[in-house]
Amino acid sequence: AQTIHQWPVAEIKAVGSPLSLGCTIKGKSSPNLYWYWQATGGTLQQLFYSITVGQVESVVQLNLSASRPKDDQFILSTEKLLLSHSGFYLCAWIQGGAETLYFGSGTRLTVL
């Protein structure tokens, strides 16, 4: 069975501090991976997607970056957090050519 794991579950960080959020998918080979961001009470916005290791496409510029160092790992990071980065970050995967998008349980980020 496929599993998707996100870490950490929640973070409280200071403005200007660095951030690294992680996502791993087990049980699937070469999935398409995605990062989504959701402001409190808002809709979901796709940030990045990756079809293969080492390749990441940016969808929205929010002073964040993403990397895919391994087939089953997707990392979201920034060197300097802004207040506007607060929100809920969701990792998702889909098998290429498939229909259903599966989401992780998310990381709730509060920037103070």
Partner 1 sequence: GQQVQQSPASLVLQEGENAELQCNFSSTATRLQWFYQHPGGRLVSLFYNPSGTKHTGRLTSTTVTNERRGSLHISSSQTTDSGTYFCAIDLTNSAGNKLTFGIGTRVLVRP
Q: What is the binding site for partner 1 (CB under 8 A)?
A: 32, 34, 42-46, 49, 51, 57, 59, 88, 90, 92, 94, 96, 99-103, 105-106, 108
Residues 6+ apart with CB under 8 A from 1: 27
> Do 34 and 91 touch, CB atoms closer than 8 A?
yes
- Least distance to partner 1 from the beta carbon of 69, Å? 19
CA 66 – CA 55 distance, rounded (Å): 9
Of the pair 41, 83, the CB lying nearest partner 1 is at 41
CA angle 32, 68, 89 (to 5 degrees): 75
- Least distance to partner 1 from the beta carbon of 18, Å? 24
Helix (H, G, I), strand (E, B) or coil at 43: coil
Of the pair 55, 77, the CB lying nearest partner 1 is at 55
Of the pair 40, 83, the CB lying nearest partner 1 is at 40
